[in-house]
Amino acid sequence: MKFPIYFSKKIAFSKDNKNNLSRIIIFIGRLSVALGIVVSLITISTGLGSKKAIKNKMGDFSGHISIKSTKSNASYNSSVLDQENFDLKELKKIPEVETAQSYASLSGILRTKENFAGIILKGVGKDFDKNRFQKFVTSGEIPDYTEKGYNNDIMLSEQIAKGLHLKVNDSITAVFSKEDQKPIYRKFVVKGIYNTDIKLIDELFIIGDINHVRKIQNMGKTDIGGVDIFLKDFDKTDVVFPQVEKIIGYKNYTEKTTDKYPQILQWIEIFDTNISVILGIMLVVVVINIIMVLLILIIERTNSIGVLKTLGADNNQIRAIFINYTLLIIIPGLIVGNLIGIGLLLIQKYFGIIKLNPKEYYISTVPVDLNLGYILALSLGILVVSAISLIVPSYLISRISPAKVVKYNCLLYTSPSPRD
């Protein structure tokens, strides 16, 4: 087994490779591998990064899992959550749950002298996770909602603020309606402005005091419309979901954040398809180029193969030599491709050079998710697939006859010159 490896190294690093067709073939093989690695790394890292970024944004705003009353309808006006058969403390004992916050929501209209906008007031209380929401804040600050009295400070999205020409510390009038359809007016002060880049959220939601919603909806002082549950890991949603269902009581129901925004979920699923298609294309291109390299090297070194067979080497040993030889050729391509790919991804991760339109992509810059596991898996996968794909074309070696090669060489070196 050591003979094929030894001989592969000898011919792979031979000076002869610099003086013949091998130099061009080796360059093409390495270039195809390097480009394949670069494209694959960028595709996987940005694809997974985009999925993760969009899911985290949805979860950090709306909770990874929400609890609502079964009396809730298609409107955004909250029904009172049943708390008799539901203990919030039991919910927080679930290991994967990081925190939970109460809310109540109400639809209405924000109105200025020049314009108006339909909105949903998401009322939050003293358990509002300000640290989690802070990443969305672009100007101003997050108000303190202590549930003592009525706090008139609110937070608007950038989209709503621009549409109504509002800025921090501006006053705005909101119009709501009760069950009897009589309009109720509230005057709020814009304390902060946020941006999630998710259109379905930014075009509707404002954050305010839950007591305003309770008052308008005729709720009790401790009534709530729902609970947003935040997990330590978004990927644990399917694990935690059935556990939450067991402790919320029969008058309430649970909803995943991905179910709230099905359009976004469908968009996220496109990334999986794109990643698979691009990886498949790159793998085919790399394999075809590597097979081409092997075939040309075999044809070019027919004499060497004949000599090896004459000296007693069998077909399996010679096949192993050329497969190892080809793999030794593509390893530098793997290294260079990884260095270039990781370098480009690090630049994008820390400097955000490539921008996106959040109205179409739900994110403003191309996110990057670098993971050593899939980087190694990708390189190892290309090596393994290349090695397997080289087995069939290597059988061309068995068709090379040492007798014919020796006879051809004898004729070549003993044939008279034109002068003779």
Amino acid at 264: I
The yes-or-no verdict on residue 413 having pLDDT over 50 is: no
Give, to the nearest 10 degrees, the angle between helix 315-351 and helix 302-310: 140
The yes-or-no verdict on residue 347 having pLDDT over 70 is: yes
CB 90 within 8 A of CB 284: no
pLDDT tens digit string along 166-212? 999 999 999 998 766 788 999 999 999 999 998 889 999 999 999 99
Question: Residue 398: its pLDDT value, please?
Answer: 62
- Give the DSSP H/E element, type plus range, for residue 391: none
How does residue 2 score in pLDDT terms, banded at 50, 70 and 90? low
User: Judging by DSSP bridges, how do beta strands 65-69 and 252-256 pair with one another?
Assistant: antiparallel
How does residue 141 score in pLDDT terms, banded at 50, 70 and 90? very high
Question: Residue 74: its pLDDT value, please?
Answer: 65
Of the two residues 406 and 337, the one the predictor is more confident about is 337
Question: Residue 23: its pLDDT value, please?
Answer: 74
Q: What backbone phi and psi angles, to 5 degrees, belong to 260?
A: -70, -35
How does residue 381 score in pLDDT terms, banded at 50, 70 and 90? confident
Tokens (6 digits) for 179: 């069950």
How does residue 105 score in pLDDT terms, banded at 50, 70 and 90? very high
How does residue 268 score in pLDDT terms, banded at 50, 70 and 90? confident
Question: Residue 401: its pLDDT value, please?
Answer: 59
Of the two residues 75 and 161, the one the predictor is more confident about is 161
User: Judging by DSSP bridges, how do beta strands 205-209 and 116-124 pair with one another?
Assistant: parallel
DSSP character at residue 248: S
Question: Residue 412: its pLDDT value, please?
Answer: 44
Question: Residue 44: its pLDDT value, please?
Answer: 92
Using CA atoms, how far apart are residues 65 and 61, in angstroms rounded to an integer? 11
pTM of the model: 0.77
Best CA proximity match to 256, nearest among 271, 233, 234, 272? 234
Q: How far is CA 308 from CA 293, 390, 397, in A?
A: 20, 20, 11
Using CA atoms, how far apart are residues 301 and 313, in angstroms rounded to an integer? 15
How does residue 65 score in pLDDT terms, banded at 50, 70 and 90? very high
CB 60 within 8 A of CB 207: no
- What's the rounded mean pLDDT across residues 374-378? 89
- The dihedral through the CA atoms of 373, 342, 390, 274 has a sign that is positive
Give the range among 100-109, 128-137, 139-148, 264-273 with minimum mean pLDDT.
264-273
Helix/strand/coil for 188: strand
pLDDT tens digit string along 75-100? 778 888 988 888 788 888 899 999 99
Q: What backbone phi and psi angles, to 5 degrees, belong to 251?
A: -90, 0
Strands (E), 294-392: none
Tokens (6 digits) for 310: 């004459």
Q: What is the mean pLDDT of the chain?
A: 84
Amino acid at 250: Y
Give the range among 25-34, 102-111, 124-133, 409-418 with minimum mean pLDDT.
409-418
CB 65 within 8 A of CB 254: yes
The residues near 324 (Cβ < 8 Å, ≥ 6 apart) are 4, 5, 8
Question: Residue 9: its pLDDT value, please?
Answer: 55
The yes-or-no verdict on residue 150 having pLDDT over 90 is: yes
Q: What backbone phi and psi angles, to 5 degrees, belong to 254?
A: -110, 155
Longest dimension (CA), the chain: 118
DSSP string, 88-148: HHHHHTSTTEEEEEEEEEEEEEEE-SS-EEEEEEEEE-TT--HHHHGGGEEEE-PPP--SS
The yes-or-no verdict on residue 270 having pLDDT over 70 is: yes
The phi-psi region of residue 171 (left if phi > 0; otherwise alpha if psi is between -120 and 50; otherwise beta) is beta
